[in-house]
Amino acid sequence: MRIISIAAAAVIILMGCNKANTDVTSPDGRIKVSFSLSANGEPHYSAQLDGQTVIGCSALGLDVEGCNLKDGLRLISTVSAGIEDKYSLKTGKQTDYHYCANEKIFNLLAQSGDTLGIAFRVSDDGFAFRYQINSLKGGQNIVADEFSSFCFADSARAWLQIMAIAKTGWCGTNPSYEENYMQNVPVGTPCPWPSGWVYPALFQSNGAWVLVSETGLTTQYCGTRLTEIAGTPEYKVRFPMPQEVIDTATQDIRPRLTFPWQSPWRTVSVSDNLKGIVESTIGTDLATPAVDGDYSWVKPGHASWSWAKLKDESVVYDVQKRFVDYAARMRWEYCLVDVNWDRTIGYDRIAELAQYAAAKGVGLILWYNSSGAWNTTEYTPKSRLLTHEMREQEFSRLEQMGVKGIKVDFFAGDGQPVMQYYADIFADAAAHHLMVNCHGATLPRGWQRTYPNLVTMEAVKGFEYSTFTQEYQDMIPTQSCCWLFTRNVFDPMDFTPMSLAAIPGIERATTNAFELALPVLFLSGVQHFAETDDGMAAQPDYVVSLLQDFPTTWDQSLFVDGYPGQYFVAARRSGDKWYVAGINGEKAARRLTLDLSAIGSADKAEIFTDTDNKWQMAHSIAENVDLKAFEVTMQPNGGFVVVIE
């Protein structure tokens, strides 16, 4: 459900630049964004929180081929409105959302006679801006560059993830948002690679926290990222690398516009504390609303998955039947059948497996290779989703077989043609009642709102990497405590969590309590669990029971405590139960005294905590727990889960 209202707009025709008309404030008055034009007509903005500058004078503007929309501009009118929007999501940190903001659109006249609108929306948790063009006199429609920037204090600190260089890595599959975050580095730190920094990017500047991202990305724009402006504390929006297209011979990464046109929103969550960042909803508030359709068939849930630990050799009929049985025992809704199933099992036996699974209340999700010629991967099914006709044939067959979803891997980057490809897959899958999970993929940017059958996307250096190298396994604790302040704030993240038993050839860095906390903390519409059936069979009954009754959606989420890269604690409610979970990203034990009074009282609490043995947990039931001063100790790389009724 979505309800939106726009208060009566005020249109002001400007004879000069009236400062009173160029400020936009949040409903609570704490955040103020100021728009300005320089002496030569260059648009800029700045932002304050409680009167303190958090983003200094920063650039705006576009370079559309044949039309300068960067300087020589004149402000001719402003349009003001109050915005209110109510909507619900099937996945995420909460079910129901209520967005209130003040909007002001600055209409600028270029020397060519063309008009550029720059819209700002300011809410209590941050602000956002985008560009809009109704038409261009010369008919130009290619954006050559975007000049939007974010200027921080010289003393600011940053948490940033590098974008991989296109066409590098295994079988040329980069980029796919699968690098590590550099944490707490000086603002302006040069990017080690020429490909830029991905969203979301976290900054601490002038005593405030700022999370920069992008949402509302449609097929009329490429996915963007950030690049530092050398020698300054300023970051500029930049386009993908030229190779990030489906066909490098015929395609361009740059936006090709049709009119009337609007760019994606550049979103900036702003708060004087980390609670305001983690609980911000601006990334979905400004996402494009759902395309028309009935999505009642989309069912969030949990999935068993053999490939995480058992790899390619496990994708055979008998093992997949075993994992269907595993999902049924755990009361999980799905079983993911991964790579090469078309060769090792075949369509006919997959149809048989789907029928067997359905009888046990389990739906199948099948893996696909998205790619054609843009990388050299050999995993199959491959090149069966490239055109609408191909997708219709494939998806019709899956629907008839009773398959519930697809996992699509190895996309080509962030160029505009690839954004079109994503949207086409989502739309064609929805027509055949198929949920979608994307791996080797871009950041969702609010797409889970636009396409409700998109239940999750990877866009993270997921669990599988920790099965390849000890180096990455050792990074998981601190990286996990960073993603919860960045990557997973707005968008579903298919990290594929929870290994409670050994990983072949790898010494696990985390405790079992840490692993048990991840499904509470990491948000994903379908949570694909890494643990195998044999590993789960070795767990105590109280762990199995918890996971058998684990929620599929969250009605409410609260940030409790934490710091990027160090530790994270949150509380999530499903119905009448609260799940409080924490993880420790450091190699020293951390003792916490938590104020959980915001969730009410605790008649009974089931508590899962670390012991001195990382492979074991302490389990207890407590009554009449004091939630105002709840004490818990997390061991090095440890964690905890508390279920409160």
* 270 and 131 fall within a common domain: yes
* 583 and 538 fall within a common domain: no
Contacts within 8 Å (CB) and 24+ apart, 385-390: 385/425, 388/424, 388/428
The span from the CA of 240 to the CA of 245, in Å, is 9
Identify the band that residue 138 occupies on the pLDDT scale cut at 50, 70 and 90: confident
Output the six-digit token pair for 334.
């799905």
Give the dihedral sign, CA 282/286/291/292: positive
The residue type found at 583 is I
pTM of the model: 0.97
* 279 and 417 fall within a common domain: no
Q: What is the pLDDT of residue 66?
A: 85
The span from the CA of 176 to the CA of 191, in Å, is 17
Q: What is the pLDDT of residue 530?
A: 98
Q: Average of pLDDT values for 110-131?
A: 97
For the chain, count helices (H), then strands (E).
14, 37
Of 507, 513, 505, whose CA–CA distance to 539 is shortest?
A: 513
* Last-in-domain residue among 226, 258, 285: 285
Output the six-digit token pair for 599.
């969730």
* Last-in-domain residue among 516, 549, 582: 549
Q: CATH number, domain at 479?
A: 3.20.20.70
User: What is the tens place of the pLDDT at every residue in 190-210?
Assistant: 999 999 999 999 999 999 999
Q: What is the pLDDT of residue 601?
A: 87
In this model, does residue 424 exceed pLDDT 90?
Answer: yes
Q: Average of pLDDT values for 517-523?
A: 98
In a domain, 138, yes or no: yes
DSSP, residue by residue, 507-557: ---S-HHHHHHHHHHS--SEEE----HHHHHTS-HHHHHHHHT--SS-SEE
Q: What is the pLDDT of residue 15?
A: 35
* 493 and 565 fall within a common domain: yes
Identify the band that residue 14 occupies on the pLDDT scale cut at 50, 70 and 90: very low
The span from the CA of 533 to the CA of 531, in Å, is 7
The span from the CA of 645 to the CA of 643, in Å, is 7
* 260 and 371 fall within a common domain: no
In this model, does residue 402 exceed pLDDT 60?
Answer: yes
Q: What is the pLDDT of residue 416?
A: 98
* 198 and 335 fall within a common domain: no
The Cα-based distances of 549 to 318, 552, 578 in angstroms read: 27, 9, 13
157, 188 Cβ separation under 8 angstroms: no
Identify the band that residue 2 occupies on the pLDDT scale cut at 50, 70 and 90: low
In this model, does residue 171 exceed pLDDT 70?
Answer: yes
68 pairs with which residues across the strands?
63
- What is the DSSP-derived secondary structure letter of residue 413? -
* 177 and 57 fall within a common domain: yes
User: What is the tens place of the pLDDT at every residue in 575-630?
Assistant: 999 999 999 999 999 999 999 999 998 889 999 999 999 999 999 999 989 999 99
In a domain, 590, yes or no: yes
In a domain, 291, yes or no: no
518, 497 Cβ separation under 8 angstroms: yes
- Which are the contacts of 318, defined by CB distance < 8 A and separation ≥ 6? none
Better-predicted residue by pLDDT, 141 or 19: 141
State the pairing for strand pair 10-13/208-215. unpaired
Residue 599 phi/psi, 5-degree rounding, is -95, 5
* 539 and 595 fall within a common domain: no
Q: CATH number, domain at 128?
A: 2.70.98.10
281, 230 Cβ separation under 8 angstroms: no
The residue type found at 454 is L
575, 555 Cβ separation under 8 angstroms: yes
Q: What is the pLDDT of residue 6?
A: 63
Output the six-digit token pair for 272.
């004087």
By residue count, the chain amounts to 645
* 415 and 426 fall within a common domain: yes
Give the dihedral sign, CA 480/637/468/495: negative
Residue 126 phi/psi, 5-degree rounding, is 155, -160
Across the chain, what does the average pLDDT equal?
96
DSSP, residue by residue, 467-515: TT-HHHHHHHHHHHHHHTTTTTTTS---------S-BTTB---S-HHHH
DSSP, residue by residue, 339-387: TTHHHHT-HHHHHHHHHHHHHTT-EEEEEEE--SSSS----SSBSSSSS
In a domain, 403, yes or no: yes
Q: What is the pLDDT of residue 16?
A: 37
* 410 and 446 fall within a common domain: yes
* 53 and 181 fall within a common domain: yes
Q: What percent of the chain has pLDDT over 70?
A: 97
Output the six-digit token pair for 445.
């940017």
The number of folded domains in the chain is 3
In a domain, 296, yes or no: no
Q: What is the pLDDT of residue 137?
A: 86
In this model, does residue 17 exceed pLDDT 70?
Answer: no
Q: Is the peptide bond before 255 cis (omega within 30 degrees of 0)?
A: no
Give the count of alpha carbons within 13 A of 206, CB side only. 18
The Cα-based distances of 18 to 34, 78, 368, 483 in angstroms read: 11, 10, 56, 42
In a domain, 295, yes or no: no
Other CB atoms within 10 A of residue 613 CB? 11
Range of the domain at 556: 462-525+550-645
* Last-in-domain residue among 285, 317, 339: 285
* 154 and 27 fall within a common domain: yes
CA gyration radius, the chain:
24
Identify the band that residue 10 occupies on the pLDDT scale cut at 50, 70 and 90: low
Q: Average of pLDDT values for 266-291?
A: 98
State the pairing for strand pair 454-457/62-64. unpaired
- Which are the contacts of 537, defined by CB distance < 8 A and separation ≥ 6? none
Other CB atoms within 10 A of residue 570 CB? 25
Cα angle 440, 334, 433 (rounded to 5 degrees) comes to 75
Output the six-digit token pair for 196.
């830029």
In a domain, 323, yes or no: yes
Q: What is the pLDDT of residue 349?
A: 98
Q: Average of pLDDT values for 332-344?
A: 98
In a domain, 47, yes or no: yes
Q: What is the pLDDT of residue 20?
A: 46
